Amino acid sequence: MAEIDEIVLRPRRLKGSLPWSTFLSKARKKEAVTFAWTRIGGSITPYDLEHAKEICKNPYDNSIYHLMAMGKQSAIKQTLRSECTQVLKLSAWENRNDRPHYYLDGTSSRSKFKPGKSYIVEFKCRRSPPTGGSQTCITYNAVNRAYVEARKRINVAQPKTKMWRPEDLATVGELLLDISSNLAQTYGLTLEEIEKSLPLIDTSKTLIHEVCPAYLSDVECRAGKYRRHDGLCTNLKNPTWGATLTPFQRILTPRFADGLTAPRISVTGHDLPLSRIVSRTMHPDEGYHDHAGTVMVIAWGQFMDHDYTLTGTPLDPLNRNDPEECCHRPPHLKNPYCNEIHIPEDDYFYRLFNVKCMDFVRAFPAVRPGCRLGSRIPFNLLTGVLDGNTIYGITETFGRKLRTGYGGLLRMNPVFSEYGLKDLLPLKLDIPDEGCTRPNRSMYCFEAGEIRVNEQLVLTCMHTLMAREHNRIAKSLNQINPHWDDETLFQEARRIVIAVIQHITYNEFLPILLGKDVMEKFGLLLERNGHWDGYDDSVNPAVIDAFAAAAFRFGHSLLPTAVERWSKAHKFIASKRLSDLIRRPYDLYRAGVFDEYIMGLMNQVAQAMDDSITQEVTNHLFKKAGAKFGLDLVSFNMQRGREFGIPSYMEFRKFCGLPWADTFEELFGSMPNETIRRYSSIFEHPADVDLWSGGVSERPLPGSMLGPTFACVIATQFSYSRRGDRFWYELPNQPSSFTNEQLNEIRKVKLARVICDNTDLIDSIQIYPMVLPDHEINPRVPCRSGILPGMDLTKWADYPTSNHAQYRLVEEHLLDARRQPTRPEKVRNDYNREEILRLFFESIRGISSYLGFRK
C-alpha cells in the first residue's frame, strides 16, 4: 500500500488537474506521485486527512482521485499535531515551476501564507516498499470514534473488585476487537499491519483507558522469595508475562479468514472439510502399540498440560460446564460464541442416533497488556510457567481455601484413616456439578487447585499424589523447623514441590517425549552440578497458542481404550473403559484402589503415537449417564485450532526448518503413504491440513515419541518456560534460589520416589515409571532400597537465623529473670511465662534435631 509522505499547501495558480491516465502511468512506474490538485472552500479537517490517506492506500480508485480541501496553515498544523499517533517526517519538495510551497512544519521556500486567499492542498504519496514498515497515520480521534461506536454495541463489564472474571474480561476483549476491525476497514490495513503496526498504538492516550483493567496496565513488582499464585511479576520488567488472564503468545502470524477474527479457511478460499470428516477419515481407532511408554506418560503429560493451559471460554452460569446452547436453539437464542461442529448425514456412528451437530463455543477474545489493539487472540486462565497451580490454584483467595491454616498443610479427606491408609483429596462441595458427572446428589467429586481435577480418574490420581507429597514435605519441615509458622511452612513446601515438578518434567518426561537430540538442540538438558544461570528477562514464558490448541494435545493419540488396575505384585486385576472414568472418579473411594490404579499406570503400555485415536474419545467423550454416545475430542481439536487462527501444519513445518510441500506426493516419507492418500481425498491443498492432525500423523524422530513438527513446537515452549521463569529451580542469585546443598537434594528425586512415599501398598517399582520395566535398563527395585534416594530435608534447617525476635524474647525475659528476679505481677503483665517456656523448649528441640541428637 501507499502512505502520505508529504502534504503541501500552495497558492492556486495551476489550472486543471493531473489527467487520470498520466496519474496511473506515474503510479505504476514511479515510487512517488503528487495528485489531488483542486480547490474547495472551508478548512482542513480530520476527514480530509482521512480521505487523503484512503487515496494513498488505493491510488487506482478513480472515485477518490481528487481530494478537495484548502484552508489556513495553522489549521493544517494543528490537525496533524493533535490527530496523528505518529509524527510524520516530511521531506522538502519543490515543483518544476519553482512556485512557493508551504509545509506542515510551517516553513516556506518563498513567500508567506496569506489568509483568505484560495489555496490548493497537494498530497504526495509514496509507494511503500514491499518489506518496509507502514507509516499509516491512525489518529487518536479515529480510535476514539471507533471506541464510541463500539460502546454503543458492546456492554463492557466494570467489576466492583480488582478480581476480573473471564466473562467480564471478554467484554473488554470484544470492545478492542470491534475497534480494531473498524480501524482495519477504515484504513484498509494489510494483515501485516494488523499484526505488527496496530498494536503499536498507545491506547492509554485514548478513551480506551477508561475500561482497561488495571492489572494489565499498572503493576508494581518487587523481587521476593515466593512466586505469586497468579503469575504476575514472574518478569520484573514485563509483569504480565506468563500471568493468568493474559493472551497466548504466537510464534506465527494467525490465519483468520478475514485477517481479524473469522476461523481459518482453505488457501483456495473455500471452506475446509468439516472437523468431523477429518476426524473419522484421518483418525480411526486402530489401536497399535509400538513403543515402551506407559500410561504414566499420558498421566504426567495431562497433569503438565493442566499446569499450563486452560482457554477462557463461555461457561454455563449454573454448573460452570461447557454451555449446551448451540445445536438445538434458534439463531436468536444461541450463545453468541457458538461455533457448533456439524456432522455429515452419512456419519458411520452418529447417524445411528440421529445426531447432526455437536455444541462448541469459541474462546473469549483476550485483552492485550496495555489494552493494545490487534486481531483476535484467546487468553489463558492459567500461568505460563510450571508453578504447580494444579495443586495450589491461580489466585491467592482460592489458594487459601485449599489450605488447613496450620502446619503449612493442604486440606485432605481422611476417609480411610480407620484403615491406616493415606488421605484423598477434599470433597468438591461448592458447585459440585462443575466438571463432574454425579450419579446422585449424595456423590461428590474432588477439589484441587485446578478445576479439571475430575476430568478423568487417571488425572485425579496425579493430583492426589502431588497433594500428598506437599503435606509430607510440610510435616517434615515442621519437625526440622518447629519455629516456622503456617505461612512459612506452606510456602517452603510449595517451593520444593514446584522444583520437584520441574525436575521430573525435564529429567524424566521430556527425554521420553522429545529425545536427547531435540532437548540438546533447544537447551533443555538439566545441569548435573551447580546452578544454571540461564534466565533471560527478554524471553516471554507465556504459553504458545499452537502448543495449547494443537501440539501438547499429542497425548490424545496415546490414550488407551481401557484403564487397568494392577496389584502390588505387578499382576493385572481388572480394567474399566476410559469413557466410564471421564468425570467419574468415584472408584477412588474404595480402599486400596488408588494404589492399584497407580500400579496400572506404570505397567500398562500406552497406544502408539500415530494418527489412530480410540473411539472412547472420538465417539464417547463426556458421555452422559445412560447415553450411548458422547462427543468427539478430535473434532474439538480441529475446531479449536481453526477458531484460534492457528496456521496450517505446512506453515509450522516451514517454521521448524522442514521443506514446504505444494503437492501431497511431496509428503511421502514424512508420514505413512495411506495417511497421505487419505489427506488428498478430503483436503484441496497440503497447506490446508490442520496442525494437530498433521502433527500426530508424522513419523517419530529417532529416540523420540514425536515427529519433528510437534517436537519443535513443544521444545520451543519448554525452552521459554525454563529461560523465561525468574523462579526456575536451578537459578542462582535470585531471592528464590536454592543453596547448592538443597539443589543437590532436589536432583535426587525421581517420580518413582514420589510414588513410593505417597502410596500405602506399593513396595517395588521400576526406576522410571513412564517406561515399561526391563530387567537391564529399567529394573524394578524395592522402595526401601538406596537406588531411589529421597531428599534430605535437613538441608532446609533454618535454626538459628530466622525469627530472631523469639530468641531475643527468651534471652531478655528468662535469662534476665535468673540474674535479677522479677515480681510475679510484672511477669504476668509483661509476658506469658508458659508461652516463653514453650518457645524455649521448641528451640532446644530444634537444636537437637539440627545436630542429629535423639531423645
Q: Which residues are catalytic?
A: 306
Can you say which residues are annotated as belonging to the binding site?
556
CA 832 to chain centre: 52
For 281, what's the count of Cα atoms within 13 Å in the CB-facing half-sphere? 22
Q: Helix or strand or coil: residue 601?
A: helix
Helix 140-153 and helix 46-57: axis angle, to 10°?
A: 90
**Contact predicate 409/403, CB 8 Å:** yes
Rounded to 5°, the CA angle 533-537-543 comes to 105
**Long-range contacts, stretch 748-751, CB < 8 angstroms, 24+ apart:** 748/789, 748/790, 748/791, 749/500, 749/503, 749/504, 749/790, 749/791, 750/504, 750/507, 750/508, 750/788, 751/296, 751/300, 751/504, 751/508
AA identity, residue 581: L
Nearest to 457 by CA among 608, 347, 560: 560
The Cα 724–Cα 237 span in angstroms is 12
Rounded to 5°, the CA angle 70-73-79 comes to 85
Grid coordinates in use for 498? Answer: 514446584
Residue corresponding to grid cell 531428599: 791
Nearest to 123 by CA among 104, 144, 142: 104
The Cα 319–Cα 321 span in angstroms is 6
Nearest to 361 by CA among 26, 692, 548, 636: 636
Grid coordinates in use for 642? Answer: 481453526
Element (H, E) at 840: helix 833-851
| Other C-beta atoms lying within 10 Å of the C-beta of residue 628 | 11
Can you say which residues are annotated as belonging to the binding site for heme b?
556
Q: Which residues contact 390 (CB under 8 A, 6 or more apart)?
A: 303, 306, 307, 448, 449, 450, 453, 463, 466
**Contact predicate 437/424, CB 8 Å:** no
The Cα 36–Cα 48 span in angstroms is 12
